[in-house]
Amino acid sequence: MDTKEYIHRYFENSKRLIKALEGQEKSIEKIVNILFATWQLGAPVFIMGNGGSASTASHFAADLAKTVNDLPGKRGIRALAPWDNIPLMSAIVNDRLKEDYFTAWLDTFFLEPREFSKLRIPVGIGISVHGGSGSDFGGNWSQNLLKGLQYIKDRSGITIGFSGFDGGPMAKMADVAVVVPVEEKSLGTPLVESFHVVLTHLIAFRLKELISETKSA
C-alpha cells in the first residue's frame, strides 16, 4: 500500500465513524447534561486514561476547568486528571500494583457524594481505546481504569466511558458510554484516539454555550 492509499483509507474510515457516532447522539447529549449539572452543583469530575488516552484526559480536564467558563472571577468545572501530577503518580507506580494506580489517587481526591436533586455525584470519566479488552506484555489492558470507575460507582457517583472497537468491559459498566466503533484494526488506535478528542471538544464547547446562557454563570 502506498501513502496515498493509506490516506484515502484513513479518511474513508473517518467518514464511516462520523455516521456511526451520529447514532449515539442521545448518549452524547446525556453526557453534556450530566456535566452541566455537575458545573451547577460545583461537583468534582475525575478523568482517567492511560497512554494517549491520558493526554486526552488531561486535555479534557483543562477544557472543563477553563474553556467552558473562562471569564475573570467565574468558575469552570472542577476536573482532575491523575497523570497531571507526575511526581504523585510515579510514587504510586513505585509502591502499588498497576491495577491500583487510580484507586490510590482517588483515595486522596475523591469526596463522598452528597445528594443534590436526583443527580448522583461526583462524576468519573474513563477514556480508553479498547475499554479494558485485550492484553500485551504487561497483562490485561486498562484494569486500573476499570477499577477506578468501579471505585466511583461503589460510592454512588456517575460514570462515563469513552472507548472504541466493541466498547470493552468499560462500555458495559459505565452509566453512559460512547463507543468509536472502528472495524479496521490496523487503523484502530489512531482513529479511536482522534475521535475521542473530537467528542470531548464537542462536549466542552457545547457546555461553554450552555454556561454562557446561564444568568448565574
All residues at 6 or more sequence positions from 71 whose CB lies less than 8 Å from its CB, including other chains:
217
Q: Encode pLDDT of 183-201 as tens digits.
A: 877 888 999 999 999 999 9
User: In the CATH hierarchy, which fold is given to the domain comprising 3-212?
Assistant: Rossmann fold (3.40.50)
Choose among 38, 59, 48: nearest CA to 151: 48
CB 38 within 8 Å of CB 45: yes
Whether the per-residue pLDDT at 112 is higher than 90: the answer is no
Distance CA 68, CA 75 (A): 9
Q: Find cell 491520558 and name the residue.
A: 54
The pTM of the full predicted model, rounded to 2 decimals, is: 0.92
CB 3 within 8 Å of CB 178: no
- The pLDDT value recorded for residue 168 is 94
Cross-strand pairs, 48: 126
b/e sequence 82-107, b meaning 16+ C-beta within 10 Å: bbeeeeebeebeeeeeebbbbbbbbe
Choose among 98, 99, 121: nearest CA to 110: 121
The model's confidence at residue 118, banded by pLDDT at 50, 70 and 90, is: low
**Residue 112: Cβ within 10 Å count:** 8
Q: Encode pLDDT of 1-39 as tens digits.
A: 789 999 999 999 999 999 999 999 999 999 999 999 999
Whether the per-residue pLDDT at 161 is higher than 80: the answer is yes
Distance CA 54, CA 30 (A): 23
Percent of the chain with pLDDT over 90: 76
